[in-house]
């Protein structure tokens, strides 16, 4: 059985720190539909596999909507920014899915972990989004985004991939977080734009 | 209560750093030369916030200090500053020893390959810049001949396209341009270095004197005057260059007032000077001011009496041009 949640992107500016999420919204609007106009229609519906520790996974549908006028009132130039990112051509375009995945992870935290506010964002070491910054006992959410590949690709990010010809084995994000002595609680939030699937899972403790 | 306040300050710095990093990623996603540089400036500021966060925790566990060093290193790698990142990497290695490899290794899984790639890339690009590499190795940024300086400048401008976040490269560009008397471009380069590292006293100090040479008298006067309230704690170098800038500005008007400001700055600098060479440079500035006060032309005596005989030894005896004295004192401080 699928549980559905409707979420308006402008709500994110209230649920989380404005300046932390503001730069992720244009990338969400630019990345999720890709280059096609057809896929740009509202809502963006993500089918998300939600798992809390040992409990069985549940399927959740997140229906993402937005009101451009309301968003622009709080993030001036947002629509033009999204268009610039969509038209791309930039050598740095890998930052668009990265930022969009953070935006979507902020949405998932707001929907599935009500009341939790992200307090810090880190890039040098996992997890990316921290909601408890107690020294030596961090709690947070590790994020990744993939443009294609669906659930299989996201599971590869979570669990790692075996060695193949020419490619070494990779350690999954889940195992990396479990190995960390300074992380007390960890979740992963993985997003794919096409097809629109996601995994939100508590991996520690 | 104090501990709780520290945690609040720690969290505030972390949040500040987080916002800067997110904004920087947004700038990088736009991918223009201008937004790339803005991202570098933001990431350097984020690195300073990370340091401030850690400094607010007097008893931070070693793992937390390592986490900060890792994040700082990431900021400087992403902020295209390989020399800055290398300094942070050194701190990571030192802290790994404290934390122990079992705990440290999982923390390095993301930063280590990232840093190593950035390091290799920088070394590769630097190896193609013979003049710059030689200048960096000898720590003398300005070659003796103009033709060598021009060649090195081309190399620096080329490598800056890849590393616009490296203040040391902007500094090198400024020094070379100043040597070639292209002061307006030198000002722009120094301004970039200052945007990336506003806390670096030597960048601020040299910008004071350069502003007088590169900008209009009104602009320079406003710029130099804006530093005055900070002189008591700005450090000897800033005080010295403030004094030299005021001495040059005094020739463009408000002579008495500006020479008085220069005197105050030289006195403030002497109280903060930590090295003999800096004390001697400030003493030379004071002696120059005495000469100007008496309406006398500066002579080599200034250098002799300030225990700077080595400078006097290479100059013809007699009256010395004011700019020569100022430049000699400035280069002494810069060295």
Q: Do B14 and A119 touch (CB under 8 A)?
A: yes
pLDDT at B98 over 60: yes
Q: What distances in angstroms separate CA B93 from CA B47, B97, B143, one per listed residue? A: 18, 7, 35
Which of B16, B22, B38 is the mutation pick for testing A, counting most A CBs within 10 A?
B22
Say which range, B126-130, B159-163, B185-189, has the weakest mean pLDDT: B126-130
Q: Do A119 and B17 touch (CB under 8 A)?
A: no
A99: tokens are: 């930022």
Q: What is the mean pLDDT of residues B198-213?
A: 93
Say which range, A5-14, A178-187, A188-197, B144-153, has the weakest mean pLDDT: B144-153
- The helix-helix angle for A18-31 and A78-87 (nearest 10°) equals 50
- What pLDDT shows up at residue A127? 95
A90 CB within 8 Å of a chain B CB = yes
Mean pLDDT of chain A: 89
**What confidence category does residue B3 fall into, taking pLDDT thresholds of 50, 70 and 90?**
low
pLDDT tens per residue across span B249-303: 998 888 899 999 999 999 999 999 888 888 988 999 999 999 998 888 888 888 8
pLDDT at B241 over 70: yes
- C-alpha B169/C-alpha B126 separation (Å) is 11
**What confidence category does residue B139 fall into, taking pLDDT thresholds of 50, 70 and 90?**
low
Q: What is the mean pLDDT of residues B198-226?
A: 93
Contact residues, chain B, for A23 at CB < 8 Å: 22-23, 25-26
Q: What is the mean pLDDT of residues B310-325?
A: 80
Q: What is the mean pLDDT of residues A118-122?
A: 96
Domain count for chain A: 1
Decide: B228 and B212 in contact? Cβ < 8 Å.
Answer: no
- What pLDDT shows up at residue B1? 45
| Min distance B67 CA to chain A CA atoms (Å) | 7
Mean pLDDT of chain B: 90
- C-alpha A87/C-alpha A37 separation (Å) is 12
Q: What distances in angstroms separate CA A6 from CA A11, A188, B183, B186, one per listed residue? A: 11, 21, 59, 55
Which of A13, A23, A97, A123 is the mutation pick for testing B, counting most B CBs within 10 A?
A123
Q: What domain range includes position A55? A: 2-204
Q: What is the mean pLDDT of residues A14-43?
A: 85
- What pLDDT shows up at residue B269? 93
pLDDT at A67 over 50: yes
**What confidence category does residue A108 fall into, taking pLDDT thresholds of 50, 70 and 90?**
very high
Q: Where are the alpha helices (DSSP H) in B56-145?
A: 62-78, 82-99, 101-107, 111-127, 130-138
Q: What is the mean pLDDT of residues B9-13?
A: 93
Q: Do A99 and B29 touch (CB under 8 A)?
A: yes
Task: Output A12 or B139, whichever has higher pLDDT.
Answer: A12
| Min distance B56 CA to chain A CA atoms (Å) | 12
The rounded Cα A11 to chain-centroid distance in angstroms is 16
pLDDT at B223 over 90: yes
Q: Do A19 and B19 touch (CB under 8 A)?
A: yes
Contact residues, chain A, for B28 at CB < 8 Å: 92, 95
State which H helix or E strand residue A3 sits in.
strand A2-8
- Which is it for strands A160-161 and A170-171: parallel, antiparallel or unpaired? antiparallel
Which of B3, B18, B56 is the mutation pick for testing A, counting most A CBs within 10 A?
B18
pLDDT tens per residue across span B117-130: 999 999 999 888 88
- C-alpha A71/C-alpha A24 separation (Å) is 12
- C-alpha B75/C-alpha B67 separation (Å) is 12
Q: What is the mean pLDDT of residues A161-166?
A: 82
| Min distance A84 CA to chain B CA atoms (Å) | 8
- What pLDDT shows up at residue A183? 92
Task: Output A167 or A177, whichever has higher pLDDT.
Answer: A177
| Min distance B51 CA to chain A CA atoms (Å) | 14
Q: What is the mean pLDDT of residues B37-63?
A: 94
- Which is it for strands A129-132 and A120-121: parallel, antiparallel or unpaired? antiparallel
Q: What is the mean pLDDT of residues B139-155?
A: 80
- What pLDDT shows up at residue A37? 66
Decide: A21 and A103 in contact? Cβ < 8 Å.
Answer: yes
- What pLDDT shows up at residue B7? 81
Q: What is the mean pLDDT of residues A76-100?
A: 80
The rounded Cα A151 to chain-centroid distance in angstroms is 14
pLDDT at A136 over 50: yes
Decide: B307 and B280 in contact? Cβ < 8 Å.
Answer: yes
- The helix-helix angle for B201-214 and B322-334 (nearest 10°) equals 160
Question: How many CB pairs below 8 Å do chains A and B form together?
Answer: 116
pLDDT at A199 over 90: yes
- What pLDDT shows up at residue B45? 98
Task: Output A83 or B332, whichever has higher pLDDT.
Answer: A83
- What pLDDT shows up at residue B250? 92
DSSP assignment of A37-93: SGGGSSPEEEEEEEE-TTSPPEEEEEEEE--HHHHHHHSTTHHHHHHHHHH---TTT
């Amino acid at each position: 059985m699928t549980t559905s949640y409707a979420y308006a992107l402008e709500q994110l500016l209230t649920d989380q720190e404005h300046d932390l999420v503001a730069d992720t919204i244009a990338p969400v609007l630019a990345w999720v539909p890709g280059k096609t106009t057809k896929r740009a229609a509202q809502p963006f519906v993500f089918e998300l596999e939600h798992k809390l520790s040992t409990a069985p996974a549940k399927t959740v549908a997140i229906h993402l909507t937005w009101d451009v006028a309301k968003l622009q009132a709080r993030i001036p130039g947002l629509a033009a920014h999204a268009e610039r990112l969509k038209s791309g051509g930039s050598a740095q375009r890998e930052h668009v899915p990265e930022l969009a995945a953070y935006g979507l992870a902020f949405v998932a935290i707001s929907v599935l972990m009500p009341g939790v506010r992200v307090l810090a964002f880190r890039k040098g070491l996992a997890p990316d989004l921290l909601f408890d910054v107690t020294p030596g006992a961090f709690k947070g959410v590790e994020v990744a985004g993939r443009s294609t590949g669906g659930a299989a690709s996201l599971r590869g990010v979570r669990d790692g991939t075996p060695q193949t010809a020419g490619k070494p084995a990779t350690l999954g994000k889940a195992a990396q977080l479990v190995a960390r002595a300074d992380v007390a609680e960890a979740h992963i939030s993985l997003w794919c734009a096409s097809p629109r699937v996601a995994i939100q899972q508590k991996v520690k403790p | 209560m104090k501990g709780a306040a520290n945690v609040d300050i720690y969290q505030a710095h972390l949040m500040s750093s987080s916002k800067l990093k997110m904004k920087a990623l947004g700038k990088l996603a736009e991918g223009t030369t201008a937004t790339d540089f803005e991202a570098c400036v933001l990431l350097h500021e984020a690195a300073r916030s990370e340091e401030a966060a850690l400094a607010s925790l007097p008893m931070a566990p070693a793992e937390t200090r390592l986490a900060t060093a890792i994040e700082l290193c990431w900021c400087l790698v992403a902020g295209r500053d390989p020399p800055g990142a290398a300094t942070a990497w050194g701190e990571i290695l030192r802290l790994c020893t404290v934390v122990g490899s079992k705990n440290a290794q999982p923390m390095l899984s993301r930063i280590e390959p990232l840093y190593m790639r950035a390091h290799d890339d920088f070394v590769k690009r630097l190896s193609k810049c013979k003049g710059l590499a030689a200048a960096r190795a000898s720590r003398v940024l300005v070659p003796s001949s103009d033709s060598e300086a021009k060649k090195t400048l081309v190399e620096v401008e080329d490598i800056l396209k890849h590393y616009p976040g490296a203040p040391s490269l902007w500094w090198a560009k400024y020094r070379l341009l100043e040597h070639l008397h292209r002061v307006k471009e030198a000002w722009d380069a120094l301004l970039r270095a200052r945007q990336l590292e506003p806390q670096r006293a030597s960048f601020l100090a040299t910008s004071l004197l350069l502003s007088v040479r590169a900008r209009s008298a009104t602009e320079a006067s406003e710029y130099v005057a804006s530093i005055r309230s900070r002189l008591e704690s700005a450090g000897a170098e800033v005080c010295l260059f403030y004094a030299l800038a005021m001495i040059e500005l005094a020739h463009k008007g408000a002579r008495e007032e500006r020479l008085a400001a220069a005197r105050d700055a030289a006195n403030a600098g002497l109280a903060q000077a930590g090295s003999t060479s800096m004390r001697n440079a400030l003493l030379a500035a004071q002696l120059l001011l005495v000469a100007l006060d008496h309406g006398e032309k500066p002579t080599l005596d200034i250098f002799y009496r300030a225990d700077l005989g080595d400078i006097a030894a290479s100059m013809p005896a007699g009256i010395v041009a004011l700019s020569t004295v100022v430049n000699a004192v400035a280069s002494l401080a810069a060295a």
